Amino acid sequence: MTPLWTASDFVAAVSPSFQPGTIDDVMSISIDSRTVVKGDAFFAIKGDRFDGHGFARAALDSGASVVVLDDAQRSEFLDIAERVVFVDDVLSALERLGKAARARVAGRVIAITGSVGKTSTKDALRAALAPSGSVHAAVSSFNNHWGVPLTLARMPKEIEFGVIEVGMNHPGEIRNLIAMVKPHLAVITTIVAAHIGNFDSIDEIAAAKAEIFEGVVAGGAVLINGDNRFSDFLSGVAKAQGIDAIHRFGRSQDCDVRLLDLTLAADGSDLSVSLFGNHVRCHVAAPGEHLALNALSVLGAVSLSGGDVTKACEVLARHGASKGRGERHSLAIEGGTVQLIDESYNANPASVSAALATLALSQGSGRKIAVLGDMLELGDDSIEMHKGLVTSLENTGLDRVYLCGPMMAHLWEIVPIAMRATYANSSADLIAPLVADICDGDVVMVKGSLGSRMGPIVAALLGECKR
């Protein structure tokens, strides 16, 4: 099997300050010793909870080709003479490897950011491009200061398409990441009030997202949401960066990828699209208007990257929602079945409203039940944003609402009494009443910010209700 990195290329890229012996060729890259297999390079990253240096020996025992350690800790590893390199800083070494990976790739590289929809769009684009050539993208939401260089470092030099998700929760973060990615195409899904607690205004969020244009290579292009109120601002920033190929997707008349007609259903959406002047019909298996609009950006990105749009549509007709972002499960319970919609990965006002609208589309003989946890990082307006969800709850005609978290307590106070199921301070306290309540034909949607720990509710339902 061809190595991802030869030993010599790996060493040249990470630039060790000290190398006591030889290393082996590298087949993949890991920052988690629990997943290390023979041939991996293990980078001992210092995280918020753990220091990877404490797991370096375990990585070697698992067959790592090399462990990358901080030179400041060299004295702790004097007994390791082979398959180790010491560097000035482990994260910086991973960044250098990521930059080297990007430099050797001749294929098209697409970067995706946005307040919502980044991972769902990345996953859909990866699938849609697959019939047109080899595609590399992260398997999860690896879009931060370690996720982006890790995704790049894992990118084989032979790939034809690289799809890189880029996130941020403070100004300047995208600027640093996009300098490594250097995309041919930059996509912004939309801009709404997500992570606004780290910013003074949504205008600052738009400016931070626009940093993605700074890394676009000469002759590259951008694709932005033409229906978003910041579309003209983003277009102006792109022009100021010297980008001439500025394209828009959405419903607006001036969109290059324009939605002409949309039919929403419980099992997906049917789109009629003007794609750079060509009429395209496409069925998207993942239901919800927000995912249908994401599909516009996917079709635009496929076209701008030289992919086969017809084959991309064939894939989207089979491509469901991503884990934690609308993935659906059919659960067996005593007396029947329950549909579970897993939206547990993250939440902000726009994504919760979209998820509630999708829940309303669901078909079942029973009730529509929403289980919501706190939306985090919303700053001083958090209480009002949580209370503002009552409009979506009422408009979508849901039957039952379970809420948890200190912020959701403010919403609970104004939820119509007929909708109220249970409120709890923590997500764990919702599990027992929810499991006891669900009946045949019910559709249950679980959503909240990652820190609200809504995932355990999903896990409990999957465990209690055997498929």
Count CB atoms within 10 A of the CB of residue 199. Answer: 20
CA dihedral sign, ordered 35, 38, 41, 43: positive
β partners of residue 249:
225, 257
Give the C-alpha distances (Å, rounded to integers) separating 318 from 268, 284, 312, 314.
10, 7, 10, 7
Helix (H, G, I), strand (E, B) or coil at 284: strand
Instruction: Answer yes or no: is 115 a known binding residue.
Output: yes
CA 78 → CA 10, 82, 254, 384, distances in Å? 22, 11, 64, 57
- Stated as kind and residue range, the H or E segment containing 450 is none
Question: Does the annotation place 116 within a ligand binding site?
Answer: yes
CB 312 within 8 A of CB 299: yes
Q: Is 118 annotated as a binding-site member?
A: yes
Annotated ligand binding at 226? The verdict is no
The annotation status of 99 as a binding-site residue, yes or no, is no
116: its two tokens: 């919502």
Backbone phi and psi for residue 219, each to the nearest 5 degrees, phi listed first: 85, 5
Return the SS3 of 253: coil
Q: Are 247 and 222 in contact (CB under 8 A)?
A: yes
Q: Which two tokens stand for residue 47?
A: 């995280």
**Taking Cα atoms as reference points, which of 447, 464, 454 lies closest to residue 426?**
454
Q: Among candidates 80, 84, 55, which has minimal Cα distance to 68?
A: 84
Taking only Cα atoms into account, the Rg of the chain, rounded to an integer number of angstroms, comes to 23
340 near 461, Cβ under 8 Å?
Answer: yes
197 marked among binding-site residues: no
From the annotation, which residues make up the binding site? 114-120
From the annotation, which residues make up the binding site for ATP? 114-120
